[in-house]
Amino acid sequence: MSLRYALLALLSVEPMTGYDLQKEFQSSVGHVWHAPDSQIYPELRRMEKDGLLEGEDVIWGQKGTKRLYHVTPGGKKALRTWANTTMEYTRTRDPAHLKAAYLELAEPAAARDQMREHVRHHTEQLEQWQDKLRELQSGTSAMLNRRLAATPEADRRRTTEFKIFAYEGLIARAQTEIEWAQRGMSLIDALDKPS
């Protein structure tokens, strides 16, 4: 259900096509929520059917058309309701920690690879998020600037601060994961050669 609200949030800044949205899901929002095009296009249709969006066919070149979606009042309301509602947390389901709990079944070399991969993955994420955070802080985030331009002055500070806050959380989590996996590598070494 979150996909729907991520789309609404993006479209509440300005009308976009499915393609535009898909690109945002590869960069900006994509850092928090990923979705492929094959999920986005049908969801936009459903949202239109549910009255949250209105699609408008726009001429594109000579023969082409593209469908620009904009948020309806119903969509704005749904977005506000979502923002004001506490979500329920789903039960834990964590492949990385499940595997870690059974690392004794792996060869030490394979165990090390897994921890190295965990570090690599989260380092990559961390760097993306840190870049994004710097953009937000320096006012060079294109998406945020467009959003701020459409936001009443009194809410601009909040808007920026909460985006920064979200990324700080992701960064803190990535750092925690990296430290954990590094401890894991030490542990594997210690158990492998207990000398």
Chain residues binding a copy of itself by CB under 8 A are 2, 5-6, 9, 29-34, 79-80, 82-87, 89, 91-107, 110, 113-114, 117, 121, 125, 155, 157-159, 161-163, 165-170, 172-173, 175-177, 179-180, 183-184, 187, 191, 194
The pair of structure tokens assigned to 33 is 């929520």
Q: Which of 8, 22, 178, 181 binds DNA (CB under 7 A)?
A: 22
Locus of tokens 């049908």: 42
Nearer to a copy of itself, 15 or 187 (CB): 187
Stretch near DNA under the rule CB under 7 A, chosen from 32-40, 70-78, 128-136, 184-192: 32-40
Residue 66 interacting with DNA (CB under 7 A): yes
Helix (H, G, I), strand (E, B) or coil at 150: coil
Q: 67-106: which residues touch DNA (CB under 7 A)?
A: 67, 90-91, 93
In sequence order, what are the residues at sequence separation of 6 or more whose Cβ sits closer than 8 angstroms to the Cβ of residue 69? 11, 15, 16, 17, 18, 44, 47, 48, 53, 54, 55, 56
The nearer residue to DNA, 97 or 157, going by C-beta atoms, is 97
In terms of Cβ atoms closer than 10 Å to its own Cβ (0-12, 13-18, 19+), residue 7 is buried
CA gap 76, 9 in Å, rounded:
9
What is the distance between the alpha carbons of residues 31 and 49, in angstroms, rounded to a whole number?
Answer: 28
Determine, following the binding rule CB under 7 A, whether residue 52 of this chain makes contact with DNA: no
Question: How many residues sit in the footprint of DNA (CB under 7 A)?
Answer: 29
Using the minimum distance from each CB to a copy of itself, give the nearer residue, 64 or 102: 102
Q: Decide: is 49 part of the binding site for DNA (CB under 7 A).
A: no
Rounded to 5 degrees, φ, ψ at 162 are: -70, -35
Pick between residue 56 and residue 155 the one whose CB is nearest to a copy of itself. Answer: 155
Buried b (16+ CB within 10 A) or exposed e, 147-175: bbeebeeeeeeeebeebeebbeebbeebe
* Site for DNA, rule CB under 7 A: 1-3, 17-20, 22-23, 34-39, 41-42, 44-45, 60-64, 66-67, 90-91, 93
